Amino acid sequence: MNFKYIGKNVDRPDAIKKAIGKAVFIDDIKLPGMLYAAILYPEYAHAKIISIDISEAKKSEGVVKIVTGKGCDFRFGDNVQDRLPMAVDRVLYIGEPVAAVLAENPNQAKTALKKIKVKYEPLPVIVDAMDALKKDAVLLHPDSGNYWHLPGIGPEAGTNIGDHYCCKKGDIEKGFQESDHTFEGEFVYPWGSSAALEPHGAIAQFHEDNTIEIWSSTICPFVVREDIARKYKVPIGDVRVHVPEVGGCFGYKSDVTIEQTVAWIAHFVPGRPVKWMCSRKEDFLSSLLGHGIRTKFKVGVKKDGKFVALQAAIYHSTGAYVDTGLHIMRGATHNCTGAYEFPYCYLDGYSIYTNTTPVGAYRGYGHQESQFGIERMIDIIARKLNIDSFKLREMNYLGPGKYTALGELLWESNGSVKQCSDIIKKKLFSGSKPKEDDKYYYGRGFSALMKSPKGAPFSSKSCFLKFNVDGSVCINMAGAEVGQGLRTVVRQIAAETLKISPERIRVYTEIDTQFSPWEWQTIGSMFTIQGGRAVIRACEKAIQKLKETASQALRVDTDMLEYAGDEIFLKHDPSIKIEIGRLVHGYMYPDGITVGEVIQSTSDARLPRYCNPDKNGQGSMGVTYTFGAQACEIRIEKATGRTIVDHFASCFDIGRVINPKQIRGQVNGGVMMAIGATLCEEIKFDKNGKCLNPFFSKYRFPNIKDAPKKYTVEFIETPEHIGPFGARGIGEHPVIGVAPSILNAIYDAIGVDFFEIPVTPEKIKKTLEGK
Amino acid sequence: MAQKISITVNGIKRTVEIDGWEKLVDVLRDKLGLTGTKKGCDDLSCGACTVIVDGEAKKSCSMPAIKADGTTILTIEGLSKGKTIHPIQKALIEAGAVQCGYCTPGIVLELYALFTKNIDATQEEITNALAKHLCRCTGYEAIFEGAILAQRYMKGNK
């Protein structure tokens, strides 16, 4: 197919404003009369609040109000309403808001905060899911059975289980009977932070006329709007949510994060806007963390290496509240097969309450956590069966005619993991690796991967489009631009469909629920697929309307007309034509009488037939899969144990490349982020639930010196029926195969299997010394 | 306690009343409205708050405002002139180094300080300068390429 704008490096419409410092982020917004909040956190990760004394704090300079959770009679949440805007009588984790000071400036608020005195009665603390499952474990949510939840999900009353999901494909016992060998393994993907460079922040204002206005660094303004409206009992339309530029997301600005807390504080001072910007420490501990997943596998295999059965148990230390974490566990559970077919599956996942910061979305959403395990298992199985690891993978890859764990039949159009794998194999494994020398061990490692979107059946995205009389077009959507470049994608897709240049398409820059079309949330790498499809639909509707007016102007049936971007002409006689501008606000006859609709359109698009799980945990929850392969060449420095990633290669069956430069940036950024998770990043809590490293100086976040010297990024383009021009998503995919490929490479280099990340230099050094 | 400092910011002399504890970043952002300088951490790790003080790239989140008294400061707002963006900005945009954009102003100014002092900075020196900055979006490849391109543009402009 020949495209004019798809597949081209069209410029990012927001780049200049960002580069000159004029892009407006949440912390750049200052409203008249704005108050600043400072929040008090508990000394214990689990405790009863006995008393809060605010008498001294109240007298502090500039203090307008001191707020606690006393009197809060609601819990909120999108999936399970187990969350509180502020602790009422108990604290469940170290980042839980206990009280807040509102003052005229941030420093006055912080000064007064130190004068609040809280008495606690400490309770036993649970940090790890496995301890929360013990019989004598303290119950973190004694009333969990009463919490509102969506049908089919939610807590098991009387336990610390916040959600349980089981996906069954065939009879697992039979599967193991048919197997010649079984292999077991246990893997840990610990807590990390999405750690966008811009911390969370929000402003809330309860207006005197009962309307509520929120500004937030969020990617789901419509979810926030509905949640706030529900809790403060106002019509949804009376809550207005603004999203300024978002300085990176990577997952943890989805769902409701800090907005309910800021709203709670602000509702005590109607008329005054209240701002709360997280410090980095607060961003780590009081927003959402990622991962915290332990995976246990039992794999049944035939003598020749054919996979038969997969039994998995996923234990998710989901933190103090399960609302934002449970779907990550579910994603980790049904995607744990990776890119392989297992005729028999029994995949069991648990999200378990712990006295730690709640886990929420993190780029990859469960995929990397469990596929890390399966990809490591495959290398180990290949070794034990003495089969080439590529051969073992190739005989088990999913592909046309195969069924996923969810029971979804795959087609050609779902793409080819084999082709991705072949490209990566050829690039990195054709020759031999460098030989060990005085300073380094060398290794190479591989991983295939599968990504399904994680959505909801109703997760639509919409588009408002209007033509201008000069033939230019304005497009308004509600996809949150977090750096992934969706504004460029909208421009390119619209340009291609409307046959006009991208510069003539003005793409919305900010989201405001009062004006933006409805969108569920910008999550799951689905904007290009769904949003792009919505753009095409809106363009096609507009073209149809243009033709209808043109048919009156040119006095001919609409099916005789051809749309060409700047004009509409008669198919059999192109000399009979009319320019678009003359149709946009209706066509005016010489006598002034005007006919035809104003050319504007609305549309939406969802994942077709996406459904809830059935009694076996199966159903159409993947819909549009993406397959890929990743591999690396590493060096391990003998003196320090440091792992250096020299070359990282990725190949995805992306369906259609919309913007090569942007897509390369997405892949490299994702790979780098996951290298961080694999080699250095971890949020650590001690046994008392206190965080040991909530600062960038102690949470090792990779800098340019940690980046691979070389990135290889390749794409296969097997068009997909659902996405625009065949495109699939890419945002999250690059993180999935990184940890297993690096750990497989570490084994290749030093002959040691690691089952847990991060594999720090200290860990390797210790292992080398013990050898 | 309130004190006064005099600073020249983006070529304009300003006298600002500050509290003794205030950091330069807060004076620039809150008192002078120069919000292009960003805050990403509080412990000198991320570099988003980098500005140029007397020709040196400094992390303004850790610099007491009082110490800036009498200095000449360049923030991101002072680098581009109306519709004419600086070659460093142009280069970073072209290289695809601008994604969410939160780290960009700091990186632009870091490179400006580096290339102003030494337009022939080696690749190692460029990497060392960029290593003072964190970016979560790009994986650094495009930032490095943008820096090399910026150097080329600035040499051509000389």
Q: Please provide the DSSP assignment of A169-180 as one string.
A: ES-HHHHHHH-S
Query: Which of A245, A249, A696 shows the shortest C-beta gap to B46?
Result: A696
pLDDT digits (tens, 9 = 90+) for A549-589: 999 999 999 999 999 999 999 999 999 999 999 999 999 99
Q: A274 and A223 in one domain?
A: yes
The answer to whether position A14 is within a domain reads no
Task: Give the 3-state secondary structure of residue B60.
Answer: coil
Q: Given this model, what pLDDT does residue A512 score?
A: 98
Domain C-terminal end among A584, A605, A626:
A605
pLDDT mean across residues, chain A: 97
pLDDT digits (tens, 9 = 90+) for A212-226: 999 999 999 999 999
State the nearest Cα–Cα gap between A37 and chain B, in angstroms.
16
Q: A333 and A280 in one domain?
A: no
- Could you give the angle at the alpha carbon of A479 between the alpha carbons of A477 and A481, nearest 5°? 120
State the nearest Cα–Cα gap between B39 and chain A, in angstroms.
7
Whether the CB-CB separation of A596 and A708 falls below 8 Å is answered with no
Q: A412 and A348 in one domain?
A: yes
Task: Give the 3-state secondary structure of residue A212.
Answer: strand
Q: A257 and A117 in one domain?
A: yes
What CATH number is attached to the domain comprising A543? 3.30.365.10
- Could you give the angle at the alpha carbon of A161 between the alpha carbons of A155 and A163, nearest 5°? 50
* B93–A701 C-beta distance less than 8 A: no
Q: Can you tell me the distance from the alpha carbon of A531 to that of A533, in angstroms, rounded to the nearest whole number?
A: 5
Domain C-terminal end among A581, A605, A629:
A605
Domain C-terminal end among A605, A624, A647:
A605
Q: Which residue of B has its CA nearest to A712?
A: B141
* B36–A21 C-beta distance less than 8 A: yes
Instruction: Tell me the pairing of strands A505-507 and A473-477.
Output: parallel
Task: Give the 3-state secondary structure of residue A315.
Answer: strand
Q: Given this model, what pLDDT does residue A453 score?
A: 81
pLDDT digits (tens, 9 = 90+) for A76-111: 999 999 999 999 999 999 999 999 999 999 999 999
pLDDT digits (tens, 9 = 90+) for A52-76: 999 999 999 999 999 999 999 999 9
Q: Given this model, what pLDDT does residue B1 score?
A: 61
* A664–B96 C-beta distance less than 8 A: yes
State the nearest Cα–Cα gap between B101 and chain A, in angstroms.
5
Whether the CB-CB separation of A395 and A418 falls below 8 Å is answered with no
Task: Give the 3-state secondary structure of residue A428.
Answer: helix
Q: Is the pLDDT of residue A455 over 90?
A: no
Whether the CB-CB separation of A620 and A445 falls below 8 Å is answered with no
Q: A626 and A567 in one domain?
A: no
Domains identified in chain B and CATH numbers: 2-78 (3.10.20.30), 87-157 (1.10.150.120)
- CA A191 to chain centroid: 15
pTM exceeds 0.90, yes or no? yes
Residue type, A494: A
Q: Which of A676, A738, A622, A509 is nearest to A16 (CA)?
A: A509
The answer to whether position A142 is within a domain reads no
Q: Which residue of B has its CA nearest to A697?
A: B45
How many Cβ pairs closer than 8 A exist between chain A and B? 174
Q: A218 and A114 in one domain?
A: yes
Confidence of residue B2 (pLDDT cuts 50, 70, 90): confident
Query: Which of A16, A196, A664 shows the shortest C-beta gap to B136?
Result: A196
Whether the CB-CB separation of A370 and A293 falls below 8 Å is answered with yes
Assess A192–B contact: CB distance below 8 Å, yes or no: no
Q: Can you tell me the distance from the alpha carbon of A138 to that of A140, in angstroms, rounded to the nearest whole number?
A: 6
User: By percentage, how much of chain B surpasses pLDDT 90?
Assistant: 93
Assess A195–B contact: CB distance below 8 Å, yes or no: yes
Q: Which of B138, B106, B17 is nearest to A196 (CA)?
A: B138
Q: Is the pLDDT of residue A771 over 90?
A: no
Query: Which of A27, A661, A669 shows the shortest C-beta gap to B137?
Result: A669
A528: CB partners within 8 A, 6+ apart: A486, A489, A658, A723, A724, A727, A728, A729, A730
Express the helix, strand and coil content of chain B in percent, nearest 5 each.
Answer: 40, 20, 40
B36-59 mean pLDDT: 96
pLDDT digits (tens, 9 = 90+) for A700-721: 899 999 999 999 999 999 999 9
Query: Which of B85, B104, B143 shows the shortest C-beta gap to A704?
Result: B143
Assess A558–B contact: CB distance below 8 Å, yes or no: no
* A672–B140 C-beta distance less than 8 A: yes
Q: Is the pLDDT of residue B120 over 90?
A: yes
CA neighbours closer than 13 Å in the CB half-sphere of residue A592:
0
Q: A318 and A351 in one domain?
A: yes
Q: A655 and A633 in one domain?
A: yes
Q: Can you tell me the distance from the alpha carbon of A142 to that of A358, in angstroms, rounded to the nearest whole number?
A: 17
Q: Is the pLDDT of residue A518 over 80?
A: yes
Q: Which residue of A has its CA nearest to B124?
A: A705
Residue A556 — φ and ψ, nearest 5°?
A: -155, 155
Which DSSP string corresponds to A613-659? --TTS-SSS-SS-EEEEEEEEEEEETTT--EEEEEEEEEEE-SS-S-
Q: A428 and A340 in one domain?
A: yes
Query: Which of B40, B93, B140 shows the shortest C-beta gap to A16?
Result: B93
What CATH number is attached to the domain comprising A106? 3.90.1170.50
Q: A444 and A493 in one domain?
A: no
Q: Which two tokens stand for residue A580?
A: 């678009």
pLDDT digits (tens, 9 = 90+) for B76-97: 999 999 999 999 999 999 999 9
The answer to whether position A139 is within a domain reads no
The answer to whether position A601 is within a domain reads yes
Instruction: Tell me the pairing of strands A307-319 and A587-588.
Output: unpaired
pLDDT digits (tens, 9 = 90+) for A264-306: 999 999 999 999 999 999 999 999 999 999 999 999 999 999 9
pLDDT digits (tens, 9 = 90+) for A333-361: 999 999 999 999 999 999 999 999 999 99
Q: Given this model, what pLDDT does residue B157 score?
A: 63
Q: Given this model, what pLDDT does residue A419 score?
A: 98
Assess A107–B contact: CB distance below 8 Å, yes or no: yes
Q: A324 and A388 in one domain?
A: yes
Pick A509 or A337 by higher pLDDT.
Answer: A337
State the nearest Cα–Cα gap between B74 and chain A, in angstroms.
13
Structurally, how many domains does chain A consist of? 3
A111-128 mean pLDDT: 98
The answer to whether position A190 is within a domain reads no
As beta bridge partners, residue A634 has A443, A645
pLDDT digits (tens, 9 = 90+) for A31-40: 999 999 999 9
Q: A269 and A209 in one domain?
A: yes
Q: Show residues of chain B in contact with A14, CB under 8 Å.
A: 101
Q: Which two tokens stand for residue A547?
A: 């033709």
Q: Given this model, what pLDDT does residue A152 score?
A: 92
The answer to whether position A182 is within a domain reads no
DSSP B28: I
Q: Is the pLDDT of residue A454 over 80?
A: no
The answer to whether position A177 is within a domain reads no
State the nearest Cα–Cα gap between B22 and chain A, in angstroms.
9
Q: Which of B10, B23, B14 is nearest to B67 (CA)?
A: B23
Q: Is the pLDDT of residue A750 over 90?
A: yes
Whether the CB-CB separation of A441 and A750 falls below 8 Å is answered with yes
Residue type, A396: N
Residue with tokens 């704005």: A34
Range of the domain at A747: 293-455+611-770
Query: Which of B42, B101, B143 shows the shortest C-beta gap to A280?
Result: B42
pLDDT digits (tens, 9 = 90+) for A305-317: 999 999 999 999 9
Give residues 7 to 66 of B whose Cβ lies within 8 Å of A. Answer: 19, 21, 29-30, 34-46, 48
Assess B108–A contact: CB distance below 8 Å, yes or no: yes
Confidence of residue A621 (pLDDT cuts 50, 70, 90): confident
Q: Can you tell me the distance from the alpha carbon of B25 to that of B68, in angstroms, rounded to the nearest whole number?
A: 11
B18-31 mean pLDDT: 93
Which DSSP string corresponds to A473-538? EEEEE----SSS-HHHHHHHHHHHHHTS-GGGEEE--SEETTTSPPBS-S-TT-IIIIIHHHHHHH
Task: Give the 3-state secondary structure of residue A390.
Answer: helix
* B130–A21 C-beta distance less than 8 A: no
Q: Which residue of B has its CA nearest to A672?
A: B139
A224-230 mean pLDDT: 97
Whether the CB-CB separation of A576 and A562 falls below 8 Å is answered with no
Residue B42 — φ and ψ, nearest 5°?
A: -130, 15
Pick B20 or A262 by higher pLDDT.
Answer: A262
Residue type, A616: N
A198: CB partners within 8 A, 6+ apart: A25, A26, A27, A217, A246, A247, A248, B38, B40, B100, B102
* B144–A197 C-beta distance less than 8 A: no
Which DSSP string corresponds to A255-277? SS-SHHHHHHHHTTSTTS-EEEE
Q: Given this model, what pLDDT does residue A457 score?
A: 84
pLDDT digits (tens, 9 = 90+) for A457-481: 888 999 999 999 999 999 999 999 9
Give residues 484 to 503 of A whose Cβ lies within 8 Å of B. Answer: 484-485
Query: Which of A19, A667, A697 shows the shortest C-beta gap to B85?
Result: A19
**Residue A214: which H helix or E strand, with range?**
strand A212-216
- In three-state form (DSSP H/G/I as H, E/B as E, the rest C), the secondary structure along A345-356 is EEEEEEEEECCC
